[in-house]
Amino acid sequence: MGRRAKRDELAVAMEKDWENNEQTREQHKRSGWTRKHVSVVEMPGSSRKHVGMDETHKDSESIYEDFDLYLAAKTGNVEMFRGHFESLSSTTDQMDILRRRSPKGNTFLHLAAKHGNQNIVEYIAEKSPQLNMLMNSNGDTALHVAARAGHESVVKALLLNIKRRNEAEMKLLLGVANERGNTALHEALINGWESVATYLILEDNEVSHCQNNERESALYLAANAGFAKCVSLIIATTIDEERITDQFTLKSPIQAAIIKKNRDVLQAICDGNRNLAMLSDGEWRTPLHLAAESGYVEGVRYLLGLYPPRAIFRDKDGALPIHLASIKGHVDLVIILLQFFPDPEELLDSYGRNILHLAALNGRSNVVSYILDNPDLEELINMEDTHGDRPLHLATKHWHPKIVNDLTWDKRVDIKLVNDMGMTALDTAEHYMPPYPEYRQRLTWAALRAAGTPRSMSREIRRLQSSEVGSSAETYKERVNTLLLVSTLVATVTFAAGFTMPGGYNSSSDRDPGIATMLRHIAFQMFVLCGAIAMYSSIVVDVVLIWAQLGDRTLILNALTLAEPLIVIALTMMSMAFTAGVYLVVSKLSWLGIVVFVMGAISLALLLLLLLPLCAPLTSSNRVYRYISYCLFCLLIFAATRYPKY
């Protein structure tokens, strides 16, 4: 039932109550109330009239007009409130006093309910039960406000006040929704008040099936909040099973329990109705799919106990729960699910892919490693999907260098196999390689080359490869220019350092005029040697790269092959020369000399760690060298797959 329909019923019920209940009329007349105070008046955009709203908020007097009365309602001083109220009643209509509003449309009843002042609430509600129905600018009744704040005693007082007169009105009030579509029960659940929610459910189970503007039912919110008792209560008190089932089509309570990984709520749902564990969503996914995808180990174990043995449930893509666990990299769940499905080579999705295909495609190296280490899963290693792609092809196509490296290290992986397009894994890498590849794409290609992955003999593949050769020339030229700039700077700095020796030179009056004063010191000798090596290496790099400027691709590649190791040597030697020179001039102060030496050693180690991968030939097919370069390759993979926070 819609919000307006609920309000319309409230209006009609209260109007009839006024007309039919003589005792109520007499009580209000003694209090100075008239028929106008409970009249139903038309509200903008509504098909009916609403209770107690015969004036707009701006026409009502301010709740702050008598500040002492406001403070009494806020602080819960019932004697003070009664005294001021009776005093004002001698000159002002009682209903007009109680209908005063704040800028947000709150009455004294809203104020007292918000602060949990039960005595004030009971006093106002006794004076005028109709005030229970008044709403503020957000569409909240006093019951909404009390439920949101978790004041159970106030909630009970408000409902009992109406229930004594008319139980039907109480149920209508429970179903009234605010501007967000929330009933009082919604507000209690959203704000985490389990005891309040339990009381409201017991008063009227019907309200637990209402949905707010976000299409959230009370059952969903209870599951999301982790209130297993409320979940059990809603299911147990609902006679029509269809009403429960309907709530699992959009925002499913069981999905909320799985996402929150709440075993108690999950069990409460399934114990209440075991069939709910078999329901599928719009993607045809069962709760077991959701639990496997989210990595909820305990939930998967529990749900497997509810399903028929070896039951197979597929989603729209033909994926089983074990496929989703593999896609997300939940290797512990893959292990558990393999115990229930012992023939993984039979478990394929709509694209003919097994769990290794999916793990390789999505970069889940932990799942790939587990499968490679498990001899019972050997049959999966070279299986093809509907396009003829093997796990190695898929890992290559989606640029996962670590997985490509792990697969190529395994002797059982046949690196010569081709897919339906006639391409090996190396062909795939070169076919999909963009003109300006990312580093992880280069690493993927390097891992395939290092493993000796062949190219196919297809003429079409050869044509594609030859057409892409020229596209990389510009990229190489940029590298040449960068290295040329660095080597020139190194040569300039080291040349200048050669004529500004630390410690200076002997004067003309000394025994050896013009000779360096620190000549016999080992740190000085280190400074000179390192500076000289850096100087000559950088000059050689400059000359080599000048040849590369001729534009011939072969010259460029040969120049880079020679220049890259030399520039690493030059930068390393320059760093060591600086450390030796500074240490030489501060060595008399032991602690400072040690600090300089340690800083230089750390800097040198980091420098080598960063520079060696740039010049090391990672594509060597020599297995001994592959073992040596494995650590460097892992470092590069780490650098290529970790992204800075900024």
Domains 1-186 and 344-457 share a fold: yes
DSSP reduced 3-state for 217: strand
The pair of three-digit structure tokens given for residue 358, joined into one six-digit string: 């999916």
Cβ 313 vs Cβ 280: under 8 Å? yes
For residue 621, name the pLDDT band (cuts at 50, 70, 90): low
DSSP reduced 3-state for 536: helix
For the range 552-559, what are the long-range contacts, defined as Cβ-Cβ under 8 Å and sequence gap of 24 or more? Answer: 553/469, 553/470, 553/473, 553/476, 556/473, 556/476, 556/477, 556/480, 557/476, 559/480
Determine the Cα–Cα distance for residues 360 and 194; give it in Å rounded to an integer: 45
The DSSP secondary-structure symbol of 57 reads: G
Identify the residue with better confidence: 15 or 343.
343
Type of residue at 218: A
CATH of domain 1-186: 1.25.40.20
The helix (H) or strand (E) run that includes residue 42 is strand 40-42
Cβ 571 vs Cβ 491: under 8 Å? no
Whole-model pTM? 0.71
With tokens 């949990």, the residue in question is 116
Cβ 531 vs Cβ 537: under 8 Å? no
For residue 25, name the pLDDT band (cuts at 50, 70, 90): very low
For residue 9, name the pLDDT band (cuts at 50, 70, 90): low
Which segments of 520-573 are extended strands (E)? none
For residue 622, name the pLDDT band (cuts at 50, 70, 90): low
Determine the Cα–Cα distance for residues 16 and 25; give it in Å rounded to an integer: 11
Determine the Cα–Cα distance for residues 111 and 131; give it in Å rounded to an integer: 12
Q: Is 420 exposed, middle or buried (0-12, 13-18, 19+ CB in 10 A)?
A: exposed
CB atoms within 10 A of CB 363: 19
pLDDT digits (tens, 9 = 90+) for 263-288: 999 999 988 878 888 887 777 888 99
pLDDT digits (tens, 9 = 90+) for 584-613: 888 888 899 899 989 999 988 888 777 766
With b meaning 16 or more CB within 10 Å and e meaning fewer, what string describes 558-586?
ebbebbbbbbbbbbbbbbbbbbbbbbbee
Determine the Cα–Cα distance for residues 408 and 450; give it in Å rounded to an integer: 9
Angle between helices 321-328 and 331-340 (to 10 degrees): 160
Determine the Cα–Cα distance for residues 298 and 473; give it in Å rounded to an integer: 55
Query: So what's the architecture of 344-457 in CATH?
Result: Alpha Horseshoe (1.25)
Cβ 182 vs Cβ 143: under 8 Å? no
Determine the Cα–Cα distance for residues 17 and 165; give it in Å rounded to an integer: 9
DSSP reduced 3-state for 416: coil
CB atoms within 10 A of CB 336: 18
pLDDT digits (tens, 9 = 90+) for 198-207: 999 999 988 9
Give the rounded distance of the alpha carbon of 495 from its chain centre. 54
pLDDT score at 31: 38
Cα-based angle 163, 164, 170 (whole degrees, multiple of 5): 15
Cβ 502 vs Cβ 584: under 8 Å? yes
Residues 489, 491, 493, 498: what is their CA dihedral angle, to the nearest 10 degrees?
180
Q: For the chain, which residues make up each domain, given as ranges?
A: 1-186, 344-457, 484-615
pLDDT score at 627: 65
Percent of the chain whose pLDDT exceeds 90: 41
With b meaning 16 or more CB within 10 Å and e meaning fewer, what string describes 610-620?
ebebebbebeb
pLDDT digits (tens, 9 = 90+) for 488-541: 999 999 888 887 878 776 666 667 676 777 777 888 889 999 999 999 999 999
Cα-based angle 107, 141, 165 (whole degrees, multiple of 5): 100
The pair of three-digit structure tokens given for residue 384, joined into one six-digit string: 């093809």
Number of H helices, E strands in the chain: 33, 2
Cβ 124 vs Cβ 112: under 8 Å? yes
pLDDT digits (tens, 9 = 90+) for 282-332: 778 889 999 999 999 999 999 988 877 666 788 888 999 999 999 999 999
